[in-house]
Structure 1
Amino acid sequence: MAVRLDDPNVFSPASSFSTFGDLVDVIVRNAFVLAGVMCFVLLVIGGFGVIMGAGDTKKTEQSKQAITGAVVGLIIVITSYWIVQIIEKLTGVPLLGTK
């Protein structure tokens, strides 16, 4: 049995995106929220680990690495968004949906 994906009654969220860029824009925005939440959670866990592992240098170093990884990861995500925005401005092509 074949299902028509362009039928708004079968898959109604698909009808809310007029272009592929709009879909990518929603995915990217949700990915940024997820990255921010993950960074916050890793910072809390890493900070808790530094406090709890005050006497154990191995646990303290692991916690510091978690904090560093969280911050570096968030910086990479933000930088990638900036790069896409610069490419959009230079080329005039909307990569992340219509503006």
Structure 2
Amino acid sequence: MSKLNIMLLAQVDIKNEFQPAKNTDFQTLGGVISAFLPKILLVAGIIFFIMTVLAGVGMIAGAGSSDAQSKEKARSFLTYSIIGLVIIFTSYWIVQIISFTTFNSLKNLLK
């Protein structure tokens, strides 16, 4: 009798039980990247802000001392944080340009 119950449970049509997801952006790799990219940019902005504040505190602390190495270390820390932010935003715009040119050209080909 238990074999009969297992067989009946295995014969459920999953398409009728669970409807497919609608309006999801995760159907393509570009959709996944476009969905996560704003969140990554938010985290990058927060990290940039923290690094900038730490570099500023280091510059202020280094200005009060006669140690030139601490001033240079704080300056390079600020420089690297700015370079990192520029890289993040440049990559964002590169992804946007690639997705715009790729997906718009594909849409035009399919019409």
TM-score of the superposed pair, with normalisation by structure 1 = 0.69
Return the match for 1:39 from 24, 48, 51: 48
- Which stretches in structure 1 are left out of the alignment for 5+ residues? 1-14, 94-99
Q: Which residue of 1 aligns with 2:97?
A: 86
TM-score of the superposed pair, with normalisation by structure 2 = 0.62
- Which stretches in structure 2 are left out of the alignment for 5+ residues? 1-20, 105-111
Counterparts of residues 51-70 of structure 1 (less than 5 Å): 51-54=60-63, 55-70=66-81
Sequence identity, in percent? 33
In the TM superposition, what whole-angstrom CA distance separates every residue of 1:5-35 from its partner, at most 9, and x where no partner exists?
Answer: xxxxxxxxxx688224444333221110010
Bigger radius of gyration, 1 or 2? 2
- What is the rounded CA distance, in whole Å, between the counterparts of 1:48 and 1:34 in structure 2? 21
Cα RMSD (Å) of the superposition? 2.0
Residues 54-63 or 68-77, more deviating: 54-63
Return the match for 1:24 from 18, 33, 45: 33
The alpha-carbon distance between structure 1 residues 88 and 47, as it changes in their structure 2 partners (threshold 3 A), is same
Which runs of at least 4 in structure 1 moved beyond 3 Å after TM superposition?
20-24
Equivalenced residue count is 79
